[in-house]
Amino acid sequence: MTSSILIQGGTVVTADGEARADVLVDGEVITRVGKDLKTPAARIIDASGAYVIPGGIDPHTHMELPFMGTVASEDFFSGTSAAAAGGTTMIIDFVIPNPKERILDAYKKWRTWSEKSATDYSLHVAITWWDQTVYDDMGTLVRDHGVNSFKHFMAYKHAIMADDEILVASFMRARELGALCTVHAENGELVYRLQQQIFDLGISGPEGHPLSRPPAVEGEAAHRAIRIAEVLGVPLYLVHTSCIDSLEAVARARLAGQRVFAEVLSQHLVIDDSVYRDPDWNKAAHHVMSPPFRSKEHQIALWRGLQAGMLQTTATDHCCFCTEQKQAGQNDFRKIPNGTNGVEDRMGVLWHHGVRTGRLTPSEFVAATSTNAAKIFNIFPKKGAIAPGSDADLVIWDPAKSRTISAKTHHQKIDSNIYEGMTVIGNAAVTLSRGKVLWQNGKLTTEPGYGRYVNRPCNAPYWAAQTLRNAQHNPVAVQRNQKPN
Ligand code: URQ
Ligand code: ZN
Ligand code: ZN
């Protein structure tokens, strides 16, 4: 009774539908959902006229990432606090080991950085090199540390790039473990050569960045990763699908029954490549991220991909570098640290440009901002649900609340915002993380360390089907599965 909260009068929206209902929270979990709950509670939150939705899950962030000679300015506490202000109550960040660094050591390092989080979090682990210790450590991470997803950067040659030898070795190991493989799909060899060619032509500004990473470079890598996953019989998740070329590779695979998941960043849905032609070098440089922003036809296709279910999740790839940090590439676009903000803005941007335009229903919005990620990364219904027993990660979503996005007023630790000046209608009014109010009346009440690491078991129900299904036409798997007669 002491720590119970009754959220009254709202319309509960889940990925499966919406209905007028009250939600009772006791301690850290939801205990009841139903109409006109008369249960006494220590605290009442009035949600009349608003929606009650599962807290957003952002499956792709990089808080305080050491990268390209600097460290991302947003840390795990400030970033998860800003996320809460925007209605996101969980992030899945990335351990990115240096080549030859034991992945288990890197994981332990990231755990010390991430323990200051204000909301719950989890960690994907990137495979940036290969030998027997990597093979062994992947097993330890699955068995003892609740890691069920391994990331592969197909770009960033001479840094963290995974070539085909690493991809194949790691995908085979992931299949043994029942883990999910995720990829940053850009052909790193082509990027490297195109960067060189463009710079040698005398193009050194941010406008050189998209020229060195055309859609074909992403489409090739997406297709290659998908086919490797198909042959090896592993489920695959493509992060930041940004263009028609990779979207078509995903759609072809899904229509062929292959278990491929794909993510789209909120910024890739609403920002186009004209940003790189901004006469203000700093503004253009703040939009340098990979894959780059694309011409308008790609945004149209991505919205259709989201509506059609070819793209299942939305994320931000929140990886912040302040103006001074971006200026490392003042004379050479190849040295501009890649990354943008977005963790506070994702849900408002998606509601305004998705639900208010009729592209998405409120339920589809919930699926794309929370539930699908919970299911794919195997933490549903603990997360991504509004049901008895689920964590009380809840957002009172006010469809009429207007916000003009600006670096002057946002909570993200960066002196710029890629959505600067964009007004979005539909925002978080109240955010709860495991039953604790972190955001209300425009005020954050987050505490470092309140967030907990979330274990993610392997062999999600969504993948087992894939593994078996692939075995049928995977010659290696078929022999292995054949019973001796
Ligand atoms: O590639 C990524 O996802 C990281 C390094 C963030 N930077 C970016 O430009 N996307
Ligand atoms: Zn990436
Ligand atoms: Zn990323």
How many angstroms does the Cα of residue 17 sit away from the middle of ligand 1?
34
Give the per-residue pLDDT at 485: 47
Say yes or no: CB of residue 68 within 6 Å of ligand 1.
no
CA 290 to ligand 1: nearest atom: 9
Distance CA 216, CA 218 (A): 5
Q: Ligand 1 within 6 A of 287 CB?
A: no
Task: Output the residue whose Cα is nearest ligand 1's atom 9.
Answer: 289
Determine the atom of ligand 1 nearest the C-alpha atom of 155.
Answer: 1
Ligand nearest to the CA of 60: 3
Q: Please say whether the beta carbons of 267 and 342 come within 8 A.
A: yes
Indicate if ligand 1 lies below 6 Å from the C-beta of 60: no
Q: Atom 4, ligand 1: which residue's CA is nearest?
A: 339
pLDDT tens across the length of the chain (485 residues) = 458 999 999 999 999 999 999 999 999 999 999 999 988 899 999 999 999 999 999 999 999 999 999 999 999 999 999 999 999 999 999 999 999 999 999 999 999 999 999 999 999 999 999 999 999 999 999 999 999 999 999 999 999 999 999 999 999 999 999 999 999 999 999 999 999 999 999 999 999 999 999 999 999 999 999 999 999 999 999 999 999 999 999 999 999 999 999 999 999 999 999 999 999 999 999 999 999 999 999 999 999 999 999 999 999 999 999 999 999 999 999 999 999 999 999 999 999 999 999 999 999 999 999 999 999 999 999 999 999 999 999 999 999 999 999 999 999 999 999 999 999 999 999 999 999 999 999 999 999 999 999 999 999 987 765 555 555 555 555 565 555 54
Q: Is the CB of 319 under 6 A from ligand 1?
A: yes
The best mutation among 317, 326, 334, 414 to test binding of ligand 1, ranked by most ligand atoms within 8 Å of the C-beta, falls on 317
What is residue 463's predicted lDDT score, i.e. its pLDDT? 73
Q: What is the 3-state secondary structure (H, E, C) of the chain?
A: CCCEEEEECCEEEECCEEEECEEEEECCEEEEEECCCCCCCCEEEECCCCEEEECEEEEEECCCCEECCEECCCCHHHHHHHHHHCCEEEEEEEECCCCCCCHHHHHHHHHHHHCCCCCEEEEEEECCCCCHHHHHHHHHHHHHHCCCEEEEECCCCCCCECCHHHHHHHHHHHHHHCCEEEEECCCHHHHHHHHHHHHHCCCCCCCHHHHCCCHHHHHHHHHHHHHHHHHHCCCEEECCCCCHHHHHHHHHHHHCCCCEEEEEEHHHHHCEHHHHHCCCHHHHHCCCCCCCCECHHHHHHHHHHHHCCCCCEEECCECCCCHHHHHHHCCCHHHCCCCECCCCCHHHHHHHHHHCCCCCCHHHHHHHHHHHHHHHCCCCCCCCCCCCCCECCEEEEEEEEEEECCCCCCCCCCCCCCCCCCEEEEEEEEEEECCEEEEECCEECCCCCCCCECCCCCCCHHHHHHHHHHHHCCHHHHHHHCCCC
Q: Can you tell me the distance from the alpha carbon of 389 to that of 74, in angstroms, rounded to the nearest whole number?
A: 32
Q: Determine whether the shortest distance from the Cβ of 171 to ligand 1 is under 6 A.
A: no
Distance of CA 396 from the midpoint of ligand 3 (Å): 28
**Which ligand 1 atom sits nearest the alpha carbon of residue 156?**
1
Closest C-alpha residue for ligand 1 atom 7: 339
351 Cβ neighbours under 8 A, 6+ residues apart? 365, 397, 399, 424, 425, 426, 427
Q: Is the CB of 151 under 6 A from ligand 1?
A: no
* Spatial CB neighbours of 163, under 8 Å, sequence gap ≥ 6: none
Cα distance between residue 227 and residue 162, in whole Å: 16
Domains delineated in the chain: 55-386+454-462 (3.20.20.140)
Does ligand 1 come within 6 angstroms of the Cβ of 342? no
**Residue 236 C-alpha to ligand 1 middle, in angstroms?**
18
Report the nearest atom of ligand 1 relative to the CA of 153. 1
Q: Which of 217, 265, 266, 289 to mutate to test the pocket of ligand 1 (most atoms within 8 A of CB)?
A: 289
Residue of the CA atom closest to atom 10 of ligand 1: 290
Q: How remote is the CA of residue 232 from the centroid of ligand 3, in Å?
A: 25
For the CA of 338, the nearest atom of ligand 1: 9
Query: What is the predicted pLDDT for the residue at 3?
Result: 85
Paired residues of 8 in beta bridges:
46
